[in-house]
Structure 1
Amino acid sequence: MKQKFYILIFFFGMIFIPQLNYAQVDFNKTPDDDLGDVEDRTQELFFEALKQKGIENYDRAVTALLQCIEIDKNESVFYYELGKNYNKLKNFGAAEEALKKAVKFEPDNEWYLDELYSVYNQQNDLTKAIKTVKQLVQYHPDYKEDLAMLYFKSKKYNDALKILDELDKEQGITPSRDSMRNQIYAATGRKKDQIQNLETRVDNDPDEESNYLALIYRYSENNDKQKAFETAKKLLEIKPNSQLVHLALYKFYLEENNTNQAIASMKVVLQSPQINPDAKMMVLSDFVKFVGENPEYEQDLVEATSFALDDTNNKSYIELAQYFLTKGDKTKALEYYNEALKIDSDNYSVLKNILLLEIDLEHYTEAVSKSEKALLKYPSQPLLYLVNGVALNKLDKFKQAIDALETGLDFVIDDTKMEGDFYRQLSMSYSALNNTTKAKTFSDKAKQLESSN
């Protein structure tokens, strides 16, 4: 629905300019009898209504307007304003009644019809809304899109598509109308019509990139990969500098085992400013998987990923870290996890991986420092206490290790493996302090848990 901006002068005109036939009462006329008192009273009440509506006292505005109508039952603007206030109060029945009276006085008044449309739209009364919008279309073609949406909601799909076709021809294609069109095709299962519509667009406007991209997507969705690939290559031929087309091309090249072309396309995607980070991440994931199966292209992955690294998005760093982790390169994995944590310091999963890698790489001082900082933020995470205790044991700080481990043990719930790790570390701490009794106690507890599993 189109929002209409009404200005106060509109109302001034209706009241003070009788020759426009908006008002039957001349408020500028000098009173020469009792009628003047009536006119003054009507003017006072009407402006009171406008004032109260302006400060959102809609009930008081309604009261003032009803008094106006008692004085003059033939003034359309009173009913119009009354309907607007009832609409604000969600009293749709009264709003409809008042606005229909206003429209009866002035059947061609666009403002009256628009407000009546608002009432029907809020009630989802599609039949009455369609009837009203059909009248509004006569004044503003913009209402055509509202009409198409109403037909769509009413499941009158052919009528909706007819309106959309007219609008596309008159005004060009827009994302909002395309979205509605695609919803109609999805609701009716008319995939052939959808593809035919896109093919026609490509034929009619062969230089428009978006038409090719939409057609590639729909061919792919319809499992017609050959046509999708042909369309992508045609687009690249017409638009050799196109970057978006490589979102499709790299997959086709991979399926054809055209490795060099696939890598080239992936590099275009990853360094393109036109392609959003989520799409880049999908390509990066495919690239990582490909290189995992074809390690000879690892350098291409590293080079391409340098384009995708984003100081505001940690996903690409995580993707790289996981790749190097699977390759056994823990140092590289730790490097990228640290970069990811700089972007999102609240990512506990990344933090956990960093701490475990610090232990694996024997960076015990860093593990102590990072786990202590982490415990300030996550004081009930037992893994952090365990990492802290392991690192302190490795640094021969056994008493501090015992404090950390015994505190963390209280937070272990339904995790016998972790509980066993705590006992083994405590046994090591007490053994190093020559407390053989406690060392044996915790060692036995660890063995008992292990045997029970």
Structure 2
Amino acid sequence: MKKQRYILLFIFGILLFPQANYAQVDFNKKPDDDLGDNEDAYQEFFFEALKQKGIENYDRAIEALLKCEKIDNSDPALFFELGKNYSQLKNFGAAEDALQKAIKKQPDNEWYLDELYGVYAKQNDLENAIKTVKKLVKYHPDYKEDLATLYVKTKKYDDALKVLDEMDAELGVSTTRDRVRNMIYSATGNKKDQIENLEERVEDNPEEEKNYLSLIFRYSENNEKEKAFETAIKLLKSHPNSEMVHLALYKFYLDDNEAEKAVVSMQIVLKSSQIKPEAKMMVLSDFVKFVAIHPEYESQLVEITSNITEDEKGKSNIEVAQYFLAKGDKVKAVAYYEKALEKEPDNFGVLRNVLLLYIDVENYSKAVEKSDEALDKFPSQPIFYLVNGVAKNKLNQPEKAIRVLETGLDYVIDDHKMEGDFYKQISISHTQLNNTNKAKTFSDKAKQLESTN
């Protein structure tokens, strides 16, 4: 639906229709008999209808318009207003009848046709909507896009593609129309036509980078790797400064074990200001996996991570931290998790990982400090109480450890392993305090839970 037209109609309708459509009724004419009274009454009822519609009293608006009809049924604007009010009340049958009368009296009025189109659209009457939009196309080419969409909804895919081709020829390609095209190709499974269309675009407009990229994607999707690679190389030759092409090239280079070229392409992508952060993170993830197999490129990974923009550093540091964690270098993993926390201080997963790593690398003071901060943000997460308790036991602070561990136990729900870990730590605390009996009690509870797992 063309909302802007409705807005214009709303603003100017009162001014336009009395001038344009009531030409047959001269409200200033002196009455010969009772004609003047009828004209006055018509005008009074019509404007009463407009007023009632304006305050959403559609029933009363219709009553006033029906009184107009009894006085003079020759005015198409009368039936147009009736149709709009019936439509507001969802009385679509009456709305259609009224609008058809208006169109019959004035067949070339775009507003009447557009309102009728709206009535059909509200009822999902696609066939009648198509017939109406075909008439509207001659007023505004924009309606062709509506027509293509309606053809798709009615599975008339060839008709839809014909309309899209006409619009592309007249106006050039557009993202919106391409989405409709892709819906059609997806519904029909006709990848051959889709690729041919993109090939023609590249041929007809070799300066347009987007056409190459779309073709590369479709070739890849269709498992035509060689053609995709050839197209990427062709794009690189015609656009040597293209950064987007490296989103495709690095994958090809990785598959062909051309490590140096792959690294260069990944670096270009990760430094690019044109490429979206989500795409960069996918590339960085691939870079991390690549370095896990080829550790000789670790320095490039670290370098590129340091050069990533501030907005992207949180996620990039997490990727690198996970790489070092998988490699077993927990110290470096902690360092990158800490950098990630600077950007995403409330990231629960990162907080949990870094706190557990503090225990692993025996940085107990830091574990206490950061778990205290974590408990301020996440007071119902038992893992942070457990880490805090473990660290305090390691620092020979058993009384403090017992207090925090007993509090944390209240938040453990249906997790026997974690519950057992709490009992073990409480047992350790009591052992440090020489409370042998209590230490054994909690140790036995932990063992009992282990046996049930």
Same fold (TM over 0.5): yes
**Offset, 1:102:** 0.9
Look up the equivalent residue of 1:110 and give its one-letter code: E
**Offset, 1:185:** 1.2
- Taking the aligned partners of 1:235 and 1:165, their CA distance within structure 2 comes to 24
- Taking the aligned partners of 2:311 and 2:331, their CA distance within structure 1 comes to 21
- Taking the aligned partners of 1:331 and 1:58, their CA distance within structure 2 comes to 73
Gaps of 5+ in 2: none
Look up the equivalent residue of 2:449 and give its one-letter code: L
Q: Report Cα offsets for 1:264-302 as digits up to 9, x if no partner.
A: 110111111111111111111110000000000001111
- 1:255 matches 2:255: yes
Gaps of 5+ in 1: none
**Offset, 1:448:** 3.0
Q: Which residue matches 2:376?
A: 376
- Taking the aligned partners of 2:125 and 2:66, their CA distance within structure 1 comes to 26
Match of 1:314, SS state, is helix
Q: Report Cα offsets for 1:66-106 as digits up to 9, x if no partner.
A: 23223222211111112112222322222112111111111
Q: Which residue matches 2:205?
A: 205
- 1:341 matches 2:341: yes
Q: Report Cα offsets for 1:391-420 as digits up to 9, x if no partner.
A: 221222211211111121222233222122
Preserved contact between residue 21 and residue 77 of structure 2 (Cα < 8 Å): no
Q: Which residue matches 2:219?
A: 219
- Taking the aligned partners of 2:85 and 2:395, their CA distance within structure 1 comes to 76
- 1:120 matches 2:123: no
Q: 1:71 to 1:347 in 2, by over 3 A?
A: farther
Q: Which residue matches 2:441?
A: 441
**Offset, 1:358:** 2.0
Mean Cα deviation higher: 314-323 or 127-136: 314-323
Match of 2:49, SS state, is helix
- 1:25 matches 2:25: yes
Q: Which residue matches 1:265?
A: 265
- 1:395 matches 2:395: yes
Q: 1:32 to 1:345 in 2, by over 3 A?
A: farther
Q: Which residue matches 2:420?
A: 420
Mean Cα deviation higher: 339-348 or 39-48: 339-348
- Taking the aligned partners of 1:254 and 1:389, their CA distance within structure 2 comes to 46
What are the equivalent positions in structure 2 for 1:184-333 lying under 5 Å apart?
Answer: 184-311=184-311, 314-333=314-333
- Taking the aligned partners of 1:445 and 1:14, their CA distance within structure 2 comes to 87
Look up the equivalent residue of 2:46 and give its one-letter code: F
- Taking the aligned partners of 1:151 and 1:449, their CA distance within structure 2 comes to 64
**Structural RMSD (CA):** 1.9
Preserved contact between residue 330 and residue 357 of structure 1 (Cα < 8 Å): yes
Look up the equivalent residue of 2:217 and give its one-letter code: Y
- Taking the aligned partners of 2:309 and 2:321, their CA distance within structure 1 comes to 12
- 1:6 matches 2:17: no
Q: Which residue matches 2:140?
A: 140
Look up the equivalent residue of 1:116 and give its one-letter code: L
Look up the equivalent residue of 2:15 and give its one-letter code: F
Q: Report Cα offsets for 1:398-444 as digits up to 9, x if no partner.
A: 11211111121222233222122111111111111121110111122
Q: Which residue matches 2:82?
A: 82
Look up the equivalent residue of 1:179 and give its one-letter code: R
- 1:385 matches 2:385: yes
Match of 2:311, SS state, is coil
Mean Cα deviation higher: 67-76 or 52-61: 52-61
Q: Which residue matches 1:180?
A: 180
Q: 1:342 to 1:98 in 2, by over 3 A?
A: farther
Q: 1:333 to 1:71 in 2, by over 3 A?
A: farther
- Taking the aligned partners of 1:142 and 1:12, their CA distance within structure 2 comes to 26
Look up the equivalent residue of 2:259 and give its one-letter code: T
Q: Report Cα offsets for 1:140-187 as digits up to 9, x if no partner.
A: 222111111111111111111111111111110001111111111111
Preserved contact between residue 145 and residue 164 of structure 1 (Cα < 8 Å): yes
- Taking the aligned partners of 2:336 and 2:137, their CA distance within structure 1 comes to 58
- Taking the aligned partners of 1:60 and 1:317, their CA distance within structure 2 comes to 66
Q: 1:273 to 1:51 in 2, by over 3 A?
A: farther
Q: Which residue matches 1:95?
A: 95
- Taking the aligned partners of 2:175 and 2:16, their CA distance within structure 1 comes to 40
- Taking the aligned partners of 1:196 and 1:265, their CA distance within structure 2 comes to 28
**Offset, 1:36:** 2.6
Mean Cα deviation higher: 318-327 or 259-268: 318-327
- Taking the aligned partners of 1:396 and 1:70, their CA distance within structure 2 comes to 98
- Taking the aligned partners of 1:427 and 1:122, their CA distance within structure 2 comes to 70
Preserved contact between residue 48 and residue 61 of structure 2 (Cα < 8 Å): yes
Q: Report Cα offsets for 1:95-146 as digits up to 9, x if no partner.
A: 1121111111111111000010011112111110111011111222221111
